[in-house]
């Protein structure tokens, strides 16, 4: 029997049992629906993660730290004391020294190394407002494009003026000032310098040489007000993580203030992290690989860890893939259930059509052609189920996408469910193959049927 | 020509065995119409199965046109049936949900006849049983006689050398039954095919060229039709 004739016959006998066919394929449709959604959500999340990274991290840069636990989150338990460790958010990190940064700068392909300056201001005040606020203050990253609600930012790659400050839009809302009005206003940072930590010997020498007053002066807390002018209010963005974080000041200013605050302490010129700008045309991964050997040459006991945009992407993708795997797992379970459904339905079909099978075999139809007939029927069921499931998933995604975007405030045009035709087509193909495998058992039963037994009339 | 030599068919295992055919030797000539007559359980159906290649003899040889079909492999036996044999059953076995044309199409599909010539042969076969107007009608909407006519159309579509009919009129009233009988005889005559009818209907058997009586798996007697005797039977039925 020709393949196309078997195929047509399979389709015809399914049409003659519409109810059963549709119900069986609905079982597969549940699996197909779940798997399609998990594919769509995974793709959407990956694209979103990509967008997130590209709007926050310069792909030509590396993020360098001394202490790997910066990446790994909170490291509990006993930690070895280090004189050069710094406290940040209650967690102690080993810090990068000026020497470390120098070694990194020396690596071929590195354009510049910029430490992350932390300026822990005591409080911040805005012009004409008495309220004192606390906020994060970090250096402006010129390699990342920020959207502006008001004011102007220099073109990509250029730093802001040294006395300039960028304020997030959320602050303007909190202050009750329109972003436009905030531009040009002054922001005052109150900096309080920690006491100098002196050893008994140092105290002794100061008293001997400069007298007790000098010592008092040295131990008294110093403070300083820094006045900055708002040049821009950064717009809320769905993908830019940093805009909502705090105030941006120029790199020069950040360095100056950071140095002022730490001078005389053992945290002077010690940094939790640094950003390495890699020259255009040089692969950041190559520079990353060169860090280890460079430190080996200089100082065997010391090294730094580096992360590239790619690593960050890989980390996010791991999370996305895990979540997708969980959702997909449910789909697979639904599929397994539907496989038994197909086997059951096809067994009943074989029983019902015993005479038809007997007749076909009596007329000289080969056993494996009979088997193929039933497998094709199963394949049709798989195809139908796949199309129904994927179709409903697409429809649901189409309707839900705007709502999800609104709920997660992802920003216009960003959808979390992205349906791609090729993976869905592959999925449907896989379902057809699974259905055919499920149909194999009943098909074998049909193929082995004895025509004389099947045609016995009683 | 069908030749059976010392054919024995045993069902079951040693201690519970049942001999359905016991040392049967028999020859059926080309173009001959033969009735195998016997009570149920006599072995007449088994004889038909063995001759048609549906079943295999336990011992002995079954040759059709000089070919020993008892030695054929399954695949060859399947194509032997597809090419040379036509079957008609008491219960018709037409596919209720398929149209008449689709029913007739089945043996042609098995024979891998191309779409175009298939269409023509279906038409010819349906025309021969006067079901042309029902070609696209589903078989379940046909009457009993029409169903058996459809079964005949299906059986003759591949122009078989031998036509086996197992109680072809068993489920039909006498008028319809006679119509079917006439169809069978006229076709086999036209095609020059051999007709083997399994029946316990003496009237039908009498219309055949030869009757073979079978009992407990053994051939009792084989008698040729007396030409004069056939006609009164026919007339008696018409009354």
What confidence tens digit (pLDDT) does each residue in B97-134 have? 999 999 999 999 999 999 999 999 999 999 999 999 99
Q: Are strands A273-278 and A246-249 parallel, antiparallel or unpaired?
A: unpaired
- Mutate which: A13, A363, A369, vs B, most B CBs within 10 A: A363
SS3 A10: helix
Res. B22 pLDDT band, cuts 50 70 90: very high
Contact criterion met (CB < 8 Å) for A457 and B55: no
Q: Map tokens 């599909």 to a residue.
A: B109
Mean pLDDT to the nearest integer, B163-186: 91
Q: What is the pLDDT of residue A84?
A: 63
**What are the chain B neighbours of A2 within 8 Å (beta carbons)?**
109, 112
Residue A97 in tokens: 């020294």
B residues 183-222 lying closer than 8 A (beta carbon) to A? none
Residue of B nearest to A17 (CA): B97
**What are the chain B neighbours of A358 within 8 Å (beta carbons)?**
93
Q: What is the C-alpha to C-alpha distance for residues A175 and A336, in angstroms, rounded to an integer?
A: 57
Q: What is the pLDDT of residue B33?
A: 94
Domain B2-93+160-238 coded CATH 1.10.10.10: no
Contact criterion met (CB < 8 Å) for B81 and A363: yes
Residue A269 backbone dihedrals phi, psi, to 5 degrees: 55, 40
- Mutate which: A364, A367, A368, A449, vs B, most B CBs within 10 A: A364
Pick B81's closest partner by Cβ from A5, A356, A362.
A362
**What are the chain B neighbours of A9 within 8 Å (beta carbons)?**
109
CA distances from A397 to A34, A41, A232, A380 (A): 11, 9, 38, 25
Q: What is the pLDDT of residue B155?
A: 94
Mean pLDDT to the nearest integer, B208-229: 80
Which of B6, B12, B21 has its CA nearest to residue B217? B21
Q: Are A342 and A381 in contact (CB under 8 A)?
A: yes
- The pTM of the whole model exceeds 0.90: no
Contact criterion met (CB < 8 Å) for A457 and B78: no
Kind and range of the H or E run holding A106: none
DSSP A410-431: --TT--S----HHHHHHHHHHH
Q: What is the pLDDT of residue B238?
A: 43
Kind and range of the H or E run holding A88: strand A85-88
Fill in the DSSP letter of residue A89: T
Which of A243, A246, A224, A235 has its CA nearest to residue A118? A246
Kind and range of the H or E run holding A271: none
Those residues with Cβ within 8 angstroms of residue A248's Cβ, 6 or more apart along the chain or in another chain: A137, A138, A139, A140, A141, A160, A165, A166, A234
Contact criterion met (CB < 8 Å) for B110 and A364: yes
Those residues with Cβ within 8 angstroms of residue A200's Cβ, 6 or more apart along the chain or in another chain: none
Mean pLDDT in runs of 10 for chain A (458 residues)? 90 89 92 93 88 77 76 56 60 75 84 84 84 84 76 82 86 84 88 74 80 75 85 73 70 87 78 84 84 76 78 85 90 92 92 92 93 94 95 94 83 82 95 94 94 80
| N- to C-terminal Cα separation, chain A | 30
| Interchain contact B98–A (C-beta under 8 A) | yes
Q: What is the pLDDT of residue B151?
A: 95
Q: Are A70 and A92 in contact (CB under 8 A)?
A: no
User: CA-CA-CA-CA torsion for A237, A241, A246, A247, nearest 10 degrees?
Assistant: -70
Q: What is the pLDDT of residue A178?
A: 86
Render the burial of A371-392: b for 16+ CB within 10 Å, e for the rest. Answer: bbbbbbbbbbbbbbbbbbbbeb
- Residue ranges of domains in chain A: 3-53+315-455, 60-307
DSSP A304-357: -EEEEHHHHHHHHHHHHHHHHHHHHHHHHHHHHHHHHHHHHHHHHHHHHTHHHH
Min mean pLDDT across A142-146, A328-332, B69-73, B155-159 is at A142-146
Q: What is the C-alpha to C-alpha distance for residues B181 and B94, in angstroms, rounded to an integer?
A: 18
Contact criterion met (CB < 8 Å) for A1 and B109: yes
Q: What is the C-alpha to C-alpha distance for residues A92 and B145, in angstroms, rounded to an integer?
A: 96
- Mutate which: B56, B93, B119, vs A, most A CBs within 10 A: B93
- Residue ranges of domains in chain B: 2-93+160-238
Residue B159 in tokens: 């122009």
Q: What is the C-alpha to C-alpha distance for residues A67 and A270, in angstroms, rounded to an integer?
A: 12
Q: Nearest-5° angle of CA B30, CA B31, CA B35?
A: 100
Contact criterion met (CB < 8 Å) for B90 and A12: no
Mean pLDDT to the nearest integer, B78-89: 93
CA distance B235 to chain A (A): 32
A residues 350-409 lying closer than 8 A (beta carbon) to B? 355-356, 358-367, 369
CA distance A364 to chain B (A): 4
CA distance A355 to chain B (A): 7
Pick B110's closest partner by Cβ from A12, A363, A452.
A363
Q: What is the pLDDT of residue A238?
A: 56
- Mutate which: B105, B107, B109, vs A, most A CBs within 10 A: B109
Render the burial of A293-328: b for 16+ CB within 10 Å, e for the rest. Answer: ebbeeeeeeebbbbbbbbbbbeebbeebeeebeeeb
Q: Nearest-5° angle of CA A337, CA A343, CA A347?
A: 145
Mean pLDDT to the nearest integer, B187-202: 91
Q: What is the pLDDT of residue A299?
A: 66
Q: Are B146 and B125 in contact (CB under 8 A)?
A: no
Kind and range of the H or E run holding B172: none
Q: Are A294 and A127 in contact (CB under 8 A)?
A: no
Contact criterion met (CB < 8 Å) for B112 and A457: no
Which of B200, B204, B213 has its CA nearest to residue B233? B204
Q: Nearest-5° angle of CA B191, CA B193, CA B194?
A: 160
CA distance A425 to chain B (A): 31
B residues 52-91 lying closer than 8 A (beta carbon) to A? 54-55, 74-75, 78-83, 85, 87, 89-91
SS3 A167: strand
Residue A242 backbone dihedrals phi, psi, to 5 degrees: -75, -25
| Interchain contact A9–B (C-beta under 8 A) | yes
């Amino acid at each position: 029997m020709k393949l196309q004739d078997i195929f047509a016959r399979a389709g015809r006998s399914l049409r003659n049992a519409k109810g059963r066919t549709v119900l069986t394929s609905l079982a597969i449709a549940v699996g197909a629906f779940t798997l399609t959604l998990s594919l769509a959500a995974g793709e959407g999340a990956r694209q979103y993660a990509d967008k997130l990274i590209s709007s926050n991290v310069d792909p030509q840069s590396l993020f360098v730290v001394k202490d790997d636990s910066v990446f790994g989150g909170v490291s509990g338990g006993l930690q070895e004391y280090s004189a050069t460790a710094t406290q940040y958010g209650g967690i102690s990190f080993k810090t990068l020294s000026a020497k470390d940064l120098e070694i990194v700068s020396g690596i071929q392909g590195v354009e510049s190394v910029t430490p992350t300056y932390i300026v822990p201001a005591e409080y911040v005040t805005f012009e004409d407002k008495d309220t004192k606020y606390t906020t994060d203050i970090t250096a402006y990253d010129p390699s990342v494009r920020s959207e502006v609600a008001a004011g102007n930012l220099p073109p990509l790659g250029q730093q802001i003026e040294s006395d300039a400050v960028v304020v997030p839009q959320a602050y303007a809302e909190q202050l009750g000032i329109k972003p436009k009005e905030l531009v040009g206003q002054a922001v005052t940072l109150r900096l309080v310098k920690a006491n100098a930590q002196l050893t008994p010997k140092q105290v002794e020498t100061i008293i001997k040489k400069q007298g007790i007053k000098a010592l008092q002066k040295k131990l008294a807390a110093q403070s300083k007000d820094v006045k900055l002018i708002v040049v821009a209010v950064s717009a809320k963005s769905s993908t830019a993580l940093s805009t909502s974080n705090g105030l941006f000041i120029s790199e020069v200013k950040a360095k100056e203030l950071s140095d002022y605050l730490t001078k005389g302490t053992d945290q002077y010129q010690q940094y939790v992290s640094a950003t390495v700008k890699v020259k255009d045309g040089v692969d950041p991964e190559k520079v990353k690989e060169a860090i280890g050997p460079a430190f080996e040459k200089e100082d065997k006991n010391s090294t730094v860890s580096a992360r590239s945009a790619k690593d960050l992407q890989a980390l996010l993708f791991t999370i996305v893939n895990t979540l997708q795997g969980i959702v997909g797992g449910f789909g697979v379970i639904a599929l397994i259930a539907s496989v038994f459904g197909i086997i059951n339905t096809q067994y009943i079909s074989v029983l019902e059509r015993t005479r038809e099978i007997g007749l076909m075999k009596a007329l000289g139809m080969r056993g494996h052609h009979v088997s193929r007939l039933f497998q094709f029927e199963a394949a049709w069921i798989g195809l139908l189920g796949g199309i129904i499931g994927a179709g409903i998933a697409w429809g649901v995604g189409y309707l839900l996408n705007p709502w999800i975007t609104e709920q997660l405030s992802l920003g216009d045009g960003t959808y979390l469910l992205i349906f791609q035709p090729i993976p869905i087509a592959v999925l449907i193909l896989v379902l057809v193959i699974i259905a055919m495998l499920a149909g194999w058992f009943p098909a074998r039963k049909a193929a082995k049927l004895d025509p004389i037994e099947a045609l016995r009339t009683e | 020509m069908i030749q059976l030599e010392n054919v024995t068919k045993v069902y079951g295992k040693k201690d519970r065995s049942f001999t359905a055919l016991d040392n049967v030797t028999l020859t059926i000539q080309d173009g001959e119409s033969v009735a195998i007559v016997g009570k149920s359980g006599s072995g007449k159906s088994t004889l038909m199965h063995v001759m048609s290649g549906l079943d295999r003899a336990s011992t002995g040889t079954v040759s059709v046109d000089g070919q020993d079909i008892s030695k054929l492999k399954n695949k060859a036996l399947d194509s032997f049936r597809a090419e040379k044999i036509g079957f008609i059953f008491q219960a018709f076995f037409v596919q209720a949900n398929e149209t008449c044309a689709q029913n007739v199409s089945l043996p042609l599909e098995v024979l891998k006849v191309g779409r175009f010539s298939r269409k023509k042969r279906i038409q010819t076969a349906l025309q021969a049983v006067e079901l042309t107007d029902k070609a696209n009608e589903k078989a379940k909407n046909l009457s009993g006689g029409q169903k058996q006519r459809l079964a005949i159309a299906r059986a003759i579509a591949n122009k078989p050398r031998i036509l086996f009919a197992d109680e072809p009129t068993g489920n039909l009233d006498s008028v319809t039954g006679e119509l079917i009988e006439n169809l069978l005889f006229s076709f086999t005559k036209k095609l020059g095919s051999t007709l083997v009818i399994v029946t316990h209907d003496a009237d039908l058997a009498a219309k055949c060229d030869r009757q073979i009586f079978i009992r407990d798996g053994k051939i009792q007697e084989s008698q040729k039709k007396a030409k004069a005797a056939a006609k009164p039977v026919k007339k008696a039925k018409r009354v």
